[in-house]
Amino acid sequence: MIEVYIDGASAGDPGPSGAGVFIKGNGNLIRHAFPLSEMSNHQAEFHACIRGLDICRDHQFSIISIRSDSKVVVDAIEKEYVKNPTFRPLLLTILTNINNHFEHVFIKWIPKKSNKEADLLAKRAIQLSLDKLSD
């Protein structure tokens, strides 16, 4: 099974943001740091999940386990519902991607200390966002 570790981060709330995705399994080690626009930390967490699913779809992984330290994202995906209207289109994108491209997708909340690789990638992505702003 493919393990997909995701994390979003924001330098401010809202602020320049980034998404980190670390994927391992079946001999794969994939790392991506995605600079994002200005947004909240929670929005960045949803974007990290979307980016992780996109990578898995592109690699044609069919059974994946998403690991996140964001209770908001994990709960939203498990319940297929989110109260905050800002997150609804992001959740819809995630659920549509899951339903259309994967055989099985599991989601699991993990403590922050177990998500260090994705966290470092998200922070690197913020720095890339900040570097673009200063250019």
Average pLDDT estimate for 91-112: 97
AA letter at 16: P
For 64, other C-beta atoms within 10 Å of its C-beta total: 26
Give the predicted TM-score (pTM) of the model. Answer: 0.95
- Counting residues of the chain whose pLDDT is more than 90, the rounded percentage is 90
Work out the burial of residue 98: count CB atoms within 10 Å of its CB; fewer than 13 is exposed, 13-18 middle, 19 or more buried. buried
CATH number of 2-59+77-134: 3.30.420.10
**Has residue 36 got a pLDDT over 90?**
yes
Domain ranges (residues) in the chain: 2-59+77-134
User: What is residue 84's predicted lDDT score, i.e. its pLDDT?
Assistant: 96
- The arithmetic mean of pLDDT across residues 43-58, rounded, is 98
Q: Tell whether the model's pLDDT for residue 12 goes beyond 90.
A: no
Which of these, 61, 8, 9, lies nearest to 30 by C-alpha position?
61
For residue range 67-98, list pLDDT tens digits in order. 999 999 999 999 999 999 999 999 999 999 99
